[in-house]
Amino acid sequence: MGNIRALALKDKNEIKVLVVAEDHQQRMAFSDTVRSCGFHLVDCVTPSQLKDKFDGYESAIDIWLIDSDYDEHLATMTAASNPVAMLVGFSQAPYLNEAQQYAKWQRKFKRKLAQLLDLPTLIDNSVYKDDISDWRYVVFLGASMGGPSAVKAFLDHLSPTLPISILLAHHFNQTMISTLPRILNRHNDWHCQMITSSQRMRTGQCLIVPIDQQIVCDSTGRIILLDQAWVGDYKPAIGQILKNTSDVYGSELINIIFSGMGNDGTQYLDLIQDNDSQLWAQDPSLSTCPSQPQAIIDSGYCSFIGSPQALAEKLTNYIANKATNDTPHSFIVSDL
């Protein structure tokens, strides 16, 4: 093992960490925690993936976090990299949407790292602030072919002062996706940007999901960027995001599917219905490519269909009605 003292003298973003874990949930939790410490995450892999990728790591690895059987192959690779520190075996991390339990697990993990690495600032350091979010509802937009013009028209007729934060998943190629914020920002006051690191939702913001990396959302409004590609033919996977956001936000989620090709987004609609999440769609007759909104409508779960402008008006009225119905009545007395 290397020198712990030398590691403590490094800038945090120069401390290179490799995560090896069998369990997908553990890998997400480790990836999130390593980033929140300010360290450089070299990779987050299963043991079988590590065998194929190990020779491709160009830089020395300072810390190994291993949550799997420490077999002969792992022992050989860790010895070859001569890390400063290696931690093996961890308690199971709660799901990221179990905010309190997950925060407790993460604090315990950080204390262990702080003691091992002689870095006491890790305990207080966090990339994420625990401030109160200024949004009340999450609006998830799914789009594909013909989507930019439809989403642009929707945003043009929607006030950025509403208590919502928007998450957009758009099937695009890697070359064109970077142009999307510039298209959507034009002539309105929305702030549209690509998700390039884990961050929090905000009002007046439209965050665009990357096509080369998965994301997961938690109940505090964090969007956590994962070091793994989307699975399946659609990138990003609208159905996968629909399920995650619906499980987390429930009745505070409004999903809108715009113009696009295929049926991505239809896989988990029965679960979305159970979570009381709203599901709306662009009118297929007004869509450049009608198959994606039509697939949502054909599911039987879509509760509103309209033009981009009508969808913006529906959302504005829906939030206003919710605010009225949620206002407490000062003079109601109950014996219950």
What is the per-residue pLDDT across 154-169, written as a single tens digit (0 to 9) for each?
Answer: 999 999 999 999 999 9
The answer to whether position 36 is within a domain reads yes
Q: Are residues 64 and 178 in the same domain?
A: no
Percent of the chain with pLDDT over 70: 90
pLDDT at 110 over 80: yes
Residue 115 corresponds to which tokens in the numbers above? 């003691």
Domain identity same for 186 and 320: yes
Q: What is the pLDDT of residue 85?
A: 83
Q: Is residue 329 part of a domain?
A: no
Any domain includes 146: yes
Rounded to whole angstroms, the maximal C-alpha distance in the chain is: 72
Residues 173 and 319 in one domain: yes
The pLDDT of residue 326: 61
The mean-pLDDT minimum among 93-107, 249-263, 312-326 falls in: 93-107
Closest CA to 199 of 127, 114, 291: 127
Cβ atoms < 10 Å from Cβ of 133: 14
Q: Residues near 117 by Cβ (< 8 Å), separated by ≥ 6? A: 4, 7, 8, 63, 84, 85
Are both 209 and 280 inside the same structural domain? yes
Q: Output the pLDDT for position 327.
A: 46
Confidence of residue 37 (pLDDT cuts 50, 70, 90): confident
Dihedral of CA atoms 39, 43, 44, 48 in degrees, nearest 10, equals -150
Best mean pLDDT range from 109-113, 245-249, 322-326: 245-249
| Highest-scoring range by mean pLDDT, 30-34, 304-308, 328-332 | 304-308
For residue range 197-242, list pLDDT tens digits in order: 888 899 999 999 999 999 999 888 889 988 889 988 889 999 999 9
The pLDDT of residue 3 is 66
Task: Look over the chain and give the mean of its residue pLDDT values, rounded to a whole number.
Answer: 85
> Could you report the per-residue pLDDT of 170-188, keeping only the tens digit for each?
998 877 888 899 999 998 9
pLDDT value, residue 173: 81
Do 271 and 208 share a structural domain?
A: yes
The reply to whether 335 falls in a domain is no
Phi, psi of 302 (to 5 degrees): -75, 125
Residues 114 and 204 occupy one common structural domain: no
* pLDDT computed for residue 125 by the predictor: 45
Check whether residue 210 and residue 253 sit in a common domain.
Answer: yes
What is the CATH classification number for the domain harbouring 71? Answer: 3.40.50
State residue 257's pLDDT score: 97
**pLDDT at 33 (0 to 100):** 86
Bridge partner list, 193 = 207
pLDDT at 79: 84
**For residue range 72-107, what is the model confidence (pLDDT) as tens digits?**
888 888 888 888 888 888 888 887 667 667 878 888
Q: Is the pLDDT of residue 192 over 60?
A: yes
Determine the pLDDT at residue 59: 75
Q: How many domains, in total, are found in the chain? A: 2
Residues 228, 299, single domain; the answer is yes
Predicted confidence at residue 309, as pLDDT, reads 97
Give yes or no for residue 1 having a pLDDT over 50. no
**Rounded mean pLDDT of 3-21?**
81
Domain of 67, in residue numbers: 4-124
